[in-house]
Amino acid sequence: VGAKDAERVIVAMGSVTDTITETINALVKKGEKVGLIKVYLYRPFSQKYLEAVLPSTVKTVAVLDRAKEVGAREPLFLDVSYALRKHNLTIIGGRYGLSSKDTNPSDINGVYEEMKKSEPKEEFTIGIDDDVTHLSLEPVDIHVDADYTSCLFYGLGSDGTVGANKSTVKIIGNNTDLYSQAYFAYDSKKAGGITRSHLRFGPTPIHSPYYINKADFISCSQPSYAFKYDMVRDLKEGGTFLLNTTVSADEVESKMPNRMLKGLADKHAKFYVIDATKLARATHMGSHTNTILQSAFFALNPQIMPYEKSLKLMKDSARTTYARKGEEVVNNNIAAIDKGSEGLVEVTVKPEWSKLTVKSALYEMTGDDHYDNYVQKINALEGNDMKVSEFVKDNIIDGSMPENVSFKEKRNIASYVPEWNADKCIECGQCAFACPHATIRPFLMTEEECTKASAIAKDNGFELTYKDPTPAYKGAKEAGLKFRIQLATENCVGCGVCMTVCPVGDGTKENPRALTAKPIATQMKQEPVADYLYKETPAKPQYGMANTVMGVSLERPYFEVSGCCPGCGEAPYYRLASQMFGKDMMVANATGCSMIYCSGTPSNPFSIDENGEGVAWANSLFEDNAEYGFGMAIAQSAKEARILRIMEDNMDKVEPDLKNAFQSYIAANDDREKQRAVKDAIMKGVKASKVEAVKPLAEMERDLVSKSVWIIGGDGWSYDIGYGGLDHVMANNLDVNVLVLDTETYSNTGGQASKSTNTSAIAKFAAGGKPTAKKDLGQIFMEYGTAYVASVSMGANQMQTIKAFKEAESYKGPSLVIAYCPCQEHGILGGLINMPTRQKLAVACGYTSLYRFDPRLDKPLQIDSTKTPDWDKYNEFLMQEARYFNLPRIKGQEEADKMFAKAKKDAQTRLSKLLAKEALQNETK
């Protein structure tokens, strides 16, 4: 491709060759002698064909690899260099796509510019700004001709923006002669994160395999984004910006940020506002603004398709998409489509806005360098502009991440959040126990703490309410403490789970719960109080009875505000484990949702306390997680053995105080609290000791308290891909705890079937419902007889969950806890606000059973759920989840009924096997 007499030629393969072609077309027009050799068949590598297409005029060749070979050069570069070794050429090689970054025409132009030099960089990178090795080339701006319309849509994860854009692409693709292209970019939050849809439409084939950075049209579905992101930055001169906002056209000038106003004026843009949130409510669409905004998009882009035509097509599409949800839903969508153009209001962009002053950062600086210049920058979508040096400071070059960050992020994504009513609350702690995000917590407060919190509240214009602690918090009232439930307003994601579990009232107006949903704006004043209580007051679990819901809820969560979906069924188990063992937990986490919500750049949900203690967490691969945790446990036990050996060998040589401390430590016999109690004395004694042989202990302070090793992952990991390793670990005798977060599907990758998927459930790779039964992982590992095994479902029996966690952890061998987790992928009617009630009904109807198998006991198996479930409710349970209720549409009612009957039979067989195991142990012991 390119000039016949090309002197500068790039060799590359894959989609980047389209970008290079676009660049070449622009350069050749300007008379530049540039070209491209595309590699279609990489192996076997053909020197003959390469030489055949190499122009005789070529002087410099640049080979581009989307690969990073540490310590060596990249594969295509090596092949080309070898093949052309006898030609008298300058051959250079570069890497692109590093950090999954885009490669656009200016990056490629940068390569051609470099090739002009008499001594170009022999090894280089593009797409990054590498101020550490200085290997990166500067992009050189270039205009490429394009006859397409570029559109960029900002949305909130799962608010329907991406779905609406997919529908738009289908409508345009199926009903016009236009070509379409769509790329969807997501951040690292499971839901409630930001989505950006990059759509191009044009009359000729589109060869631009990179994100849009100069858009003709930008739309934003989230009012708050106007203040968080610089969306106008990517708008073309004269482009159009559409914002969903409650701010009216008249108020725009006074209420919108200067950055946006100036950007619009500088670009001579057209600006439209629409109150899609209000229109959605008026058309009974709830919070779904996507249909209205889709219609507004068509109204503002008649060059793509006349609006009348798009109206008809959108309505046809709504009829097909929502037919199965009933006539009402279809009609609501049709009404919403009509509102799209009606609600649009054009705002006059004033030229004088160009003179407005703009603050340099989009966010408030906190003074914490890592938080301000790394976390906030990435959250403000400025990560792509960061230089390499910014990723190597703060000790994060090895992939480690500082803790205590997620609480500070205050993502503020809820519309409604719970408000606590002190008069009604019975102080049960259930709200905190169920919250996946650890954003509602009970506090027992001293008089001093009450005074401070009340003063903060007063400063924010309200009065704080407290209650006397109930007698169940033993000694709390006598100690003069007060009880309060505190919401962390801006971190709460509004999932509603806490309101679902609150046992007071029935949620009606007449008989409300102790927590009621209120617009977030009414609760913002609570935030400073939350900051004080969550971050500056110590937890007081000593007043709660250990191993009870109330007791655990008083414990500090070392896992808070993760990036999981609002109402996720997995996260409460993680939070619970962190409350019970977090100070000493060491986690090997499999790839899956938990890996994403535990480590999505730029933050993680783990916190450390005032003593620097908290969860140590790491992720290896999907396929070796059990072995990874096993290795951690082996390393840890070797360290512990070394500590004991040093103490025993030197017992009679050390000073008397240190001897006493050693003796106490050995007597602690792995009791972590006793070890913790003597740790300081050991460290002090070791430092002062004259015995050199004990000095290595000074380096082992953090290992003096033994570790609780956890291996955590989903069913895709444990039942399928990591099963071989898990089996090996469970068959050994090492003290590890395995937590299976069982969503019965590969949730992170969009719901593929795993061996845990239930009979008849629809999943990817099981589109007609899974024909075979769910694998019984618990039965398999109970067969070893030497492993602790439990099955739990938190919303069904909280105490049983606590008991299982406690027993699993205390068992000095392999333990496995299988936790039933409702998930976004299940398509639960009413959404994940029902997560705890799904867990309850799953047990009541026999869908799953609760048990604990403890090899320490004479009769190891204890069945904790009913042995006579209400099987009549089994089908009712299935019909509340889309993964089941859509089956008749796919298979026909008769076939679906047969599959549902088999699902129930399989569940009955499963329970029978459990009962038989119990009967057998009763007979034989």
Residues that bind ligand TPP (CB under 6 A): 570, 590-594, 622-623, 713-717, 721, 741, 743, 746-749, 754
Q: Tell me the closest approach of the beta carbon of residue 553 to ligand SF4, in angstroms.
A: 8
Give the binding site for ligand SF4 (CB under 6 A). Answer: 190, 417-418, 420, 425-431, 435, 437, 439-440, 485, 487, 492-498, 502, 504, 514-515, 564-565, 568, 570, 593, 597, 743, 747-748, 823-825
> Which amino acid is located at 489 in the chain?
T
Both tokens of 368, joined, read 């914490």
Q: Tell me the closest approach of the beta carbon of residue 188 to ligand SF4, in angstroms.
A: 12
DSSP 106-127: HHHHHHHHHHTSSS--SEEE-S
Select from ligand TPP, ligand SF4, none the partner in contact with residue 564, using the beta carbon and a kind-dependent cut-off of 5 to 8 Å. ligand SF4
Closer to ligand SF4 at the Cβ: 262 or 484? Answer: 484
Scan for tokens 């070059």, then name that residue: 397
Residue 732 has what DSSP assignment? Answer: S
Scan for tokens 């930055």, then name that residue: 233
Select from ligand SF4, ligand TPP, none the partner in contact with residue 487, using the beta carbon and a kind-dependent cut-off of 5 to 8 Å. ligand SF4
Q: Tell me the closest approach of the beta carbon of residue 354 to ligand TPP, in angstroms.
A: 47
Closer to ligand SF4 at the Cβ: 124 or 473? Answer: 473
Cα–Cα dist 694/684, whole Å: 12
Closer to ligand SF4 at the Cβ: 94 or 544? Answer: 544
Cα–Cα dist 502/837, whole Å: 12
Backbone angles phi, psi at 135, to 5 degrees: -90, -15
Q: Tell me the closest approach of the beta carbon of residue 715 to ligand TPP, in angstroms.
A: 4
Select from ligand SF4, ligand TPP, none the partner in contact with residue 623, using the beta carbon and a kind-dependent cut-off of 5 to 8 Å. ligand TPP
Whether the CB-CB separation of 428 and 435 falls below 8 Å is answered with: no
Closer to ligand SF4 at the Cβ: 292 or 428? Answer: 428
Closer to ligand SF4 at the Cβ: 279 or 514? Answer: 514
Select from ligand TPP, ligand SF4, none the partner in contact with residue 494, using the beta carbon and a kind-dependent cut-off of 5 to 8 Å. ligand SF4
Closer to ligand SF4 at the Cβ: 425 or 796? Answer: 425
Whether the CB-CB separation of 544 and 550 falls below 8 Å is answered with: yes
Q: Tell me the closest approach of the beta carbon of residue 492 to ligand SF4, in angstroms.
A: 3
Select from ligand TPP, ligand SF4, none the partner in contact with residue 244, using the beta carbon and a kind-dependent cut-off of 5 to 8 Å. none
Both tokens of 525, joined, read 């004043």
Select from ligand SF4, ligand TPP, none the partner in contact with residue 749, using the beta carbon and a kind-dependent cut-off of 5 to 8 Å. ligand TPP
Closer to ligand TPP at the Cβ: 663 or 749? Answer: 749
Whether the CB-CB separation of 8 and 34 falls below 8 Å is answered with: yes
> Which amino acid is located at 605 in the chain?
P
Grouping H, G, I as helix, E, B as strand and the rest as coil, residue 93 is strand
Select from ligand SF4, ligand TPP, none the partner in contact with residue 190, using the beta carbon and a kind-dependent cut-off of 5 to 8 Å. ligand SF4
Q: Tell me the closest approach of the beta carbon of residue 550 to ligand SF4, in angstroms.
A: 8
Q: Tell me the closest approach of the beta carbon of residue 193 to ligand SF4, in angstroms.
A: 11
Whether the CB-CB separation of 237 and 203 falls below 8 Å is answered with: no
Closer to ligand SF4 at the Cβ: 219 or 748? Answer: 748
Select from ligand TPP, ligand SF4, none the partner in contact with residue 678, using the beta carbon and a kind-dependent cut-off of 5 to 8 Å. none
Select from ligand TPP, ligand SF4, none the partner in contact with residue 609, using the beta carbon and a kind-dependent cut-off of 5 to 8 Å. none
Closer to ligand TPP at the Cβ: 628 or 900? Answer: 628
Cα–Cα dist 230/215, whole Å: 13
Whether the CB-CB separation of 711 and 741 falls below 8 Å is answered with: no
Both tokens of 150, joined, read 């570029």
Q: Tell me the closest approach of the beta carbon of residue 756 to ligand TPP, in angstroms.
A: 8
Q: Tell me the closest approach of the beta carbon of residue 274 to ligand SF4, in angstroms.
A: 28
Whether the CB-CB separation of 603 and 585 falls below 8 Å is answered with: no
| Run of H or E including 599 | helix 593-599
Both tokens of 413, joined, read 């994504």
Residue 817 has what DSSP assignment? Answer: E
Select from ligand TPP, ligand SF4, none the partner in contact with residue 716, using the beta carbon and a kind-dependent cut-off of 5 to 8 Å. ligand TPP
Q: Tell me the closest approach of the beta carbon of residue 439 to ligand SF4, in angstroms.
A: 4
Grouping H, G, I as helix, E, B as strand and the rest as coil, residue 643 is helix
Select from ligand SF4, ligand TPP, none the partner in contact with residue 514, using the beta carbon and a kind-dependent cut-off of 5 to 8 Å. ligand SF4
> Which amino acid is located at 907 in the chain?
A
Both tokens of 862, joined, read 């204890």
Select from ligand TPP, ligand SF4, none the partner in contact with residue 427, using the beta carbon and a kind-dependent cut-off of 5 to 8 Å. ligand SF4
> Which amino acid is located at 95 in the chain?
R
- Report the number of secondary-structure helices (H) and strands (E) in the chain: 35, 24
Both tokens of 276, joined, read 């899609």
Strand pairing class (851-853; 788-792):
antiparallel
Select from ligand SF4, ligand TPP, none the partner in contact with residue 406, using the beta carbon and a kind-dependent cut-off of 5 to 8 Å. none
Residues in the chain: 925
DSSP bridge pairs for 92: 62
The answer for residues whose C-beta is within 8 angstroms of residue 196's C-beta and 6 or more apart is 152, 153, 154, 155, 184, 185, 211
Select from ligand TPP, ligand SF4, none the partner in contact with residue 842, using the beta carbon and a kind-dependent cut-off of 5 to 8 Å. none
Closer to ligand SF4 at the Cβ: 194 or 492? Answer: 492
Residue nearest to ligand TPP according to CB distances in the complex: 714
Give residue 266's Cα distance to chain centre. 36
- Closest among 420, 417, 416 to 428, alpha carbons compared: 420
Give residue 286's Cα distance to chain centre. 25
Both tokens of 414, joined, read 């809820």
Select from ligand SF4, ligand TPP, none the partner in contact with residue 485, using the beta carbon and a kind-dependent cut-off of 5 to 8 Å. ligand SF4
Closer to ligand SF4 at the Cβ: 17 or 824? Answer: 824
The answer for residues whose C-beta is within 8 angstroms of residue 228's C-beta and 6 or more apart is 362, 363, 379, 380
Closer to ligand TPP at the Cβ: 114 or 624? Answer: 624
Grouping H, G, I as helix, E, B as strand and the rest as coil, residue 468 is coil
Closer to ligand TPP at the Cβ: 310 or 718? Answer: 718
Select from ligand SF4, ligand TPP, none the partner in contact with residue 241, using the beta carbon and a kind-dependent cut-off of 5 to 8 Å. none
Q: Tell me the closest approach of the beta carbon of residue 468 to ligand SF4, in angstroms.
A: 14
Closer to ligand TPP at the Cβ: 514 or 615? Answer: 615
Grouping H, G, I as helix, E, B as strand and the rest as coil, residue 604 is coil
Closer to ligand SF4 at the Cβ: 430 or 636? Answer: 430
Q: Tell me the closest approach of the beta carbon of residue 877 to ligand SF4, in angstroms.
A: 18
Closer to ligand TPP at the Cβ: 741 or 914? Answer: 741
Helices 161-175 and 290-300: crossing angle, nearest 10°?
40
DSSP bridge pairs for 737: 710, 815
Q: Tell me the closest approach of the beta carbon of residue 414 to ligand TPP, in angstroms.
A: 23
Select from ligand TPP, ligand SF4, none the partner in contact with residue 622, using the beta carbon and a kind-dependent cut-off of 5 to 8 Å. ligand TPP
Q: Tell me the closest approach of the beta carbon of residue 742 to ligand TPP, in angstroms.
A: 8
Cα–Cα dist 214/905, whole Å: 58
CA angle 608, 609, 613 (to 5 degrees): 65
Q: Tell me the closest approach of the beta carbon of residue 749 to ligand TPP, in angstroms.
A: 4
| Run of H or E including 723 | helix 723-731
Closer to ligand SF4 at the Cβ: 219 or 837? Answer: 837
Q: Tell me the closest approach of the beta carbon of residue 454 to ligand SF4, in angstroms.
A: 20
Q: Tell me the closest approach of the beta carbon of residue 25 to ligand TPP, in angstroms.
A: 37
Whether the CB-CB separation of 242 and 220 falls below 8 Å is answered with: yes
ω into 418 cis (within 30 of 0): no
